[in-house]
Structure 1
Amino acid sequence: MHSNCKHTIHSAQQHFMFCNAHAPAKTVAPGDIVQFEEIDTMCGQLSPASTAADVPGLDFSRVNPAVGPVYVDGAEPGDALKVTLLEFAPSGWGWTGIIPGFGLLADDFPDPALNIWHYDRALAAPTLFSSIAKVPLRPFCGILGVEQAAPGEFSTMPPYHTGGNLDLRDLTVGVDIYLPVEVPGALFSLGDPHCAQGDGEVCGTAIESPMGVTVKLDLVKAENLKFPRFVTHEPVTRHIDSMGYEVATGIGPDLMEASRNAVRGMIERLTRLHKIRPEEAYMLCSVAGDLRISEIVDLPNFVVSFYMPRQIFA
């Protein structure tokens, strides 16, 4: 049996484009553990002292790096790379922002906004959004991906059939994700750590937080996946449903517009209930609420719902 050798990859070993021509940062054996040092999705451009005035000056060529790639011995096209999330090393601070031109409601929110969060590194307590809300913490990685067989460079911003910027909030400690291998060695990278996010990440950012990540890499031979899949070994609820939810819906023939209208409805509800600004409500929706497809078969109209847990305001 393999001894689970442990490897360390430094945060400087990063790239902003997926490309199967990248030289591996590390070569490991199946079953090995890889520790990625503190990863910062903004490459140091934001700090706990930053304000909304810093957002327009961000260099977006230095945003959302993926750290790696890791070459896994024996990985061949048609295999699946099994990635088990073992541990997160949080930094104690994070940020959520509204970036002009980005997010589900970009046309509704043309001005920048920024909220700096401070939290317990032990993750024992929720983080505070001023005096308005208490958001529970559940770290995960936004970027988990392997290289495509296709030549060329592919931005780390969107997701692909081989993974990438999936922004799946349930990819947290203990979860196994399986990625379709298309090139020898798989060439695995990760990045974009978060402390909390709602399903949809509607404003475009979660609680983005520099942190370290430790994973175990293994292989499933000849799985022939078309897209990633993952397995959770415990409930995915964050145990914030004890007081129920406020729910807004969007209904219509276009899923994207229905999604926008569900979020708009929740923003309007939160501003009335809690006397907060629309920008604050939008960011809270992104980090703590869930956008769901409720009905997709009764043509011509679909139903999208936005669920906001009432407990965070208690």
Structure 2
Amino acid sequence: MDRLGGAHHTIHAGHGHVHYGWDNAIEPVLEVEPGEAVEFEVIDASGGQLNPRSTAEDVGRLDFERVNPVTGPVFIKGARPGDVLEVEILAFGPATWGWTAIIPGFGLLADEFPEPYLKIWDLQAGHDRAWFNERIAVPLNPFPGTIGVALPEPGRHSIVPPRKNGGNMDIRHLTAGTRLLLPVWVEGALFSVGDTHAAQGDGEVCGTAIEAPMRVACRFRVRRDIRLEEPHYIVPGPLKSGQDPRGYYVTTGISEDLMEAARKAVRAMIRYLGETYRLEPAEAYALASVAVDLKISEVVDAPNWLVSAFLPQSLFLR
């Protein structure tokens, strides 16, 4: 198998090469020089607990100690605390299948969707799209949901929330060509990556994207010309979000609380998808998570803030 993006090394997602929390005591599986590229094999976000034959019942049995595994860590020679690690995302290997789930107790509308739901996606049938049903197809745009370096604080830290080291940021614009800038907190940075997504909307509102195992290649550089306290990133060209040739249907949510404004926008989108496309509420919620972009439209006109939810019209057959 050829290495992605001209990578110098490959890390297979086997025993000892995957971890389930940030811990600066984990021994690196590889040491590289700045400028070298590494290909990572990534397990899906369930840690292999779900497969193409899984059902919603399997979602309810997920062991959260095994979710969001990351491959690594990699020691980048010369990286020191106070430096910035530039991670250039080079390429993604093909994914054959993926899943989107509503997990009880998780997601923006967790209280309103207490039952598990699972959608298994065939990522080979549509080439650059994945079919939600016979009328709805989602463009594929892979990126790593979880990507980061070790924290300075000792001990094991949950991999679920994003932190100053990066982590589970779920930034859908970390696609091939993007450069992620991470503050370095420990010697060698100790970089890891996982949780690859085939597609996601801004917000990942139900809590999952199209979660898919795949390969990703990254090149590393150490920078001392900037100082960061939290991650930054550089996108090389126009964002795919906002470029839909057929336009968008947009719902809004208005509230004194920004999170409630987001919830209202998503609730309105779920109603619209149900009324217009005959989707069940769980189906509409899952589709919104992988294809609808939440945007903060205003946070200055006190006391109310406004969030918009953008639904690309090109998802739907004419």
Q: Would you identify which runs of 4 or more consecutive aligned residues in structure 1 move more than 4 Å?
A: none
Give 2:40's aligned residue. Answer: 36
Contact 2:183 2:231 in 1 (8 A): yes
After superposition, residues 49-198 of structure 1 pair within 5 angstroms as 49-120=53-124, 124-198=127-201
For 2:73 and 2:142, the matched residues in 1 are separated by 22
1:222 Cα deviation (Å)? 4.8
1:44 Cα deviation (Å)? 1.6
Give 1:6's aligned residue. Answer: 8
Contact 2:42 2:70 in 1 (8 A): no
- What is the alpha-carbon root mean square deviation over aligned residues? 1.5
For 2:201 and 2:210, the matched residues in 1 are separated by 10
235, 238, 252: which one pairs with 1:235?
A: 238
1:39 Cα deviation (Å)? 2.4
Give 1:212's aligned residue. Answer: 215
Give structure 2 stretches of 5+ with no counterpart. Answer: 1-5
Give 2:254's aligned residue. Answer: 251
Give 1:283's aligned residue. Answer: 286
Q: Is residue 311 from structure 1 mapped to residue 305 from structure 2 by the alignment?
A: no
For 1:292 and 1:142, the matched residues in 2 are separated by 19
Secondary structure in structure 2 of the residue aligned to 1:90: coil
For 2:38 and 2:13, the matched residues in 1 are separated by 13
1:41 Cα deviation (Å)? 1.8
Aligned-partner residue type, residue 8 of structure 1: T
Secondary structure in structure 2 of the residue aligned to 1:143: strand
Aligned-partner residue type, residue 37 of structure 2: I
For 1:5 and 1:167, the matched residues in 2 are separated by 24
1:239 Cα deviation (Å)? 7.3
1:58 Cα deviation (Å)? 1.4
**Percent identity among equivalent residues?**
51
- In the superposition, the TM-score normalised over structure 2's length comes to 0.94
Aligned-partner residue type, residue 75 of structure 1: A
Give 2:3's aligned residue. Answer: none
1:233 Cα deviation (Å)? 1.1
1:30-77: CA deviation from partner (whole Å, max 9, x where unpaired) = 011111124222222111111112111111111101111111000011
For 1:60 and 1:252, the matched residues in 2 are separated by 33
1:22 Cα deviation (Å)? 1.3
Give 2:202's aligned residue. Answer: 199
Q: Is residue 221 from structure 1 mapped to residue 224 from structure 2 by the alignment?
A: yes
1:129-183: CA deviation from partner (whole Å, max 9, x where unpaired) = 0123110000000111011212222111110011000100000111110100111
266, 274, 288: which one pairs with 2:277?
A: 274
For 2:252 and 2:206, the matched residues in 1 are separated by 17
Contact 2:42 2:194 in 1 (8 A): no
More displaced stretch, 173-182 vs 37-46: 37-46
For 2:74 and 2:118, the matched residues in 1 are separated by 34
Give structure 1 stretches of 5+ with no counterpart. Answer: none
1:290 Cα deviation (Å)? 0.3
- In the superposition, the TM-score normalised over structure 1's length comes to 0.95
Secondary structure in structure 2 of the residue aligned to 1:311: helix
For 2:176 and 2:7, the matched residues in 1 are separated by 19
Secondary structure in structure 1 of the residue aligned to 2:10: strand
Contact 2:252 2:264 in 1 (8 A): yes
Query: Structure 1 residues 15 and 56 mapped into 2: Cα distance closer, same or farther (>3 Å)?
Result: same
Contact 1:146 1:162 in 2 (8 A): yes
For 2:72 and 2:7, the matched residues in 1 are separated by 17
